[in-house]
Structure 1
């Protein structure tokens, strides 16, 4: 059969697959597919420290009476502790009762602190309370003191004829004093953690560490070839969750050993559903075991601040948005959050963020990440929609965008300028002339008597 080209000359029928042109045309092979299960990381285990400390208390309650029996009586007689077993057991029982009441009081303080923090700031800040060492110490010391004191009281009351355990009783007294000191330390720590600037600083420090680990970790590869159709795809199994971490070292070892390129499909913070593509494999037509690659990825219930700079910006932005809401109406807290958002955006300018590619011998590993305009959108777009009703927040956002536009390289400045213009367009519907002049006024905070920077 003969077909006619657009210029009227005869040509091969496009439906003919037996001609020489058709024989020479490359046939694209479908990529192989395999299934793997990422590692699952659950939430913070708040029970670990208390459990360990209670277990240690049980061991000490059994070990110290043995030590008492080995220590000479002449040495223990110098310790001025009441020797009446019945009186001592009663006193230890009173200490145990007071300690368990104290424990309930401590739990109440912690729960009220978490409730206040989630209602006035953000539920995303709960991990800071869970990871705080003083909180964990307090939740462990009080139950451990109670358990140890009760067991020693039982030990004394069970045998009135045995030698008086002076060391065991003295250690119970020591634990009681330690419990009081830990309680005072907990009250001080809770008061500090309830201050928004303190929490914002912790988020910023976590974000700076995440930026150093992710965008400054020696990425030296080129993405050439990794955008081509893959030879294989590793899909998620039946589990699901948020991508919280990528074992780059493990993926690089795998890529170097098999001489392949690996592209991690989801970004940090993306939700991975069952059957979702996890990694694209380039450079091998041989099917690999899915778990060998998927186990280098970690999914969990929630994004992690220590590994996800975008999540840190999102948390600060959410707190500022909530502070500007009609229910909270706290523009000062919003301004404080913007101070830290500006700090992170300036740090990210120097990091030149974006997708990172690591070389691994003859292989490569690519991990996706937002570029700087993407981080700018995460940190400021929600604020821009909510700040128009607050002149104080609008001015601070204007100063933030102006500052990052000034320090950003030329290729990034357009993103900041677009948001400055959008802020003024949105605010123009609600601002008076005085508000507009106040928002657009230049920043003179660092101007000295001899000019800027003096």
Structure 2
């Protein structure tokens, strides 16, 4: 690759709203707020439809039909009042279940899996629909009039009452789905599966623009320092950085990796060629938070799996089977990238010129992240050591020649650790015998 800023890598136009979408998914207030606003809009529209219906019937002189609608609406008033109080109770039940599930997950697995509950679509949808139904019933109840004369009544909440019953049915269906989803997330196997699926989604989004090695960039003209608060680099606004680099005919290089902790004054962007963008143009391009996310972090899934395995191997928990399940997924992820390029992530503008360069963890970094801490905790657990040996052997078979040294190093270190920790020769031989299930 030359210095002209072009590459044969596939072009991909970054999605401008992708950081905002991910940040909203990490909050719990957005979906319920949208639900409440939607309930107000829906109630306003449906009640206006009720007024239009009654006005049309009165203009046509169909007072008998108006009287029938009044009776139906009055009969439904008790149901609507019951629904209003029941929805508030349901909200309390859902909130209690969520708190218990989050507490159990944080205590038994790792606090980093709590974000799975925060990002759960079914949980947010259930809260939003329950709150929307509660507010909708209150607005419908407020629309009832004491006047029952079909000639002079101004509105009869008939359509709104029918819609209220339909919303109750939807709420009941969502409650069943929510309970099922929460129970699944309380099972460690499903949490591990969610983590690896999130990791593969992130991998598929970004690995297409990875080019091995560093691009031929001109010398850095300047470094842009971080001026915000200290925290974990969650992600960067790719589309905005690409636009800024194109306008100033430069290439920006992200200095820290996503997931690194940055403090004020830390260099975050290097400017290669062109003119240095003003600080105002780079506002809101770097997102810093209190914890890592999957959005652009290639190693975060391995970090979570390693944490769950270490918690399972602690003397307080002593659950080697969970550690084996984590190793299954770690090996699966590393096997998927064993022959894929890992290096610099290139983001292009519409003309195909490189405008943003982002460093990714290398193969050795990911192997160490997946195995180092588990290997240190597993020497007294033959189920885990056997699975770890089998996983390393599988990866040695799949990985290219140049990627085998870190795998061989971990295998040798594990064998040495078992020899030091297990005095009996027969037990040592048993502990390092490869087995993909740990112990049969």
What is residue 204 of structure 1 aligned with on the other side?
196
Cα 1:84–1:256 shift into 2, 3 Å: closer
Q: CA deviation at 1:245?
A: 1.7
Q: Secondary structure at the match of 1:351?
A: coil
Structure 2 residue runs without a partner (length 5+) = 1-18
What is residue 354 of structure 1 aligned with on the other side?
343
The alignment of Structure 1 onto Structure 2 pairs a total of residues equal to 404
Structure 1 residue runs without a partner (length 5+) = 1-38, 446-454
Pick one of 43, 50, 53 that aligns with 2:32: 50
1:406 paired to 2:397: yes
What RMSD, in angstroms, separates the aligned Cα atoms of the two structures?
Answer: 3.0
Aligned mates of 2:99, 2:63 — CA distance in 1: 46
1:70 paired to 2:52: yes
**Structure 1 segment 20-39 matched on structure 2, within 5 A:** none
Aligned mates of 1:103, 1:379 — CA distance in 2: 40
Cα 1:275–1:222 shift into 2, 3 Å: closer
Pick one of 248, 268, 271 that aligns with 1:281: 271
Judge conservation of contact 1:387–1:394 (CA < 8 Å) in 2: yes
Please list the CA deviations of residues 252-281 of structure 1 after superposition, one character each: whole Å capped at 9, or x if unmatched.
444444343432111010111111111122
What is residue 205 of structure 2 aligned with on the other side?
213
Pick one of 333, 339, 343 that aligns with 2:322: 333
Judge conservation of contact 1:221–1:364 (CA < 8 Å) in 2: no
Please list the CA deviations of residues 55-113 of structure 1 after superposition, one character each: whole Å capped at 9, or x if unmatched.
22223333323212323656995999881766543442222112211111111111111
Pick one of 398, 411, 421 that aligns with 1:420: 411
1:185 paired to 2:177: yes
Aligned mates of 1:434, 1:80 — CA distance in 2: 87
Q: Secondary structure at the match of 1:119?
A: helix
Judge conservation of contact 1:233–1:280 (CA < 8 Å) in 2: yes
What is residue 377 of structure 2 aligned with on the other side?
386
What is residue 364 of structure 2 aligned with on the other side?
373
Q: Secondary structure at the match of 1:263?
A: strand
Q: CA deviation at 1:319?
A: 0.6
Q: Which moved more, 1:329-338 or 1:151-160?
A: 151-160
Aligned mates of 1:249, 1:151 — CA distance in 2: 43
Q: Radius of gyration: which is bigger?
A: 1
Aligned mates of 2:204, 2:217 — CA distance in 1: 27
**Structure 1 segment 212-231 matched on structure 2, within 5 A:** 212-217=204-209, 219=211, 222-224=214-216, 230-231=220-221
1:233 paired to 2:215: no
Q: Secondary structure at the match of 1:366?
A: strand
Give the TM-score, by structure 1 length.
0.80
Aligned mates of 1:293, 1:85 — CA distance in 2: 58
What is residue 246 of structure 1 aligned with on the other side?
236
Cα 1:357–1:45 shift into 2, 3 Å: closer
Q: Which moved more, 1:436-445 or 1:46-55?
A: 436-445
Judge conservation of contact 1:86–1:157 (CA < 8 Å) in 2: no
Q: Secondary structure at the match of 1:349?
A: coil
What is residue 260 of structure 1 aligned with on the other side?
250
Please list the CA deviations of residues 364-413 of structure 1 after superposition, one character each: whole Å capped at 9, or x if unmatched.
64322221011000111010111112111111111112211221111221
Cα 1:255–1:80 shift into 2, 3 Å: same
1:96 paired to 2:96: no
Pick one of 267, 276, 281 that aligns with 1:292: 281
Q: CA deviation at 1:238?
A: 3.6
Pick one of 416, 432, 440 that aligns with 1:440: 432
Aligned mates of 1:102, 1:329 — CA distance in 2: 37
Aligned mates of 1:281, 1:327 — CA distance in 2: 50
Cα 1:221–1:283 shift into 2, 3 Å: farther
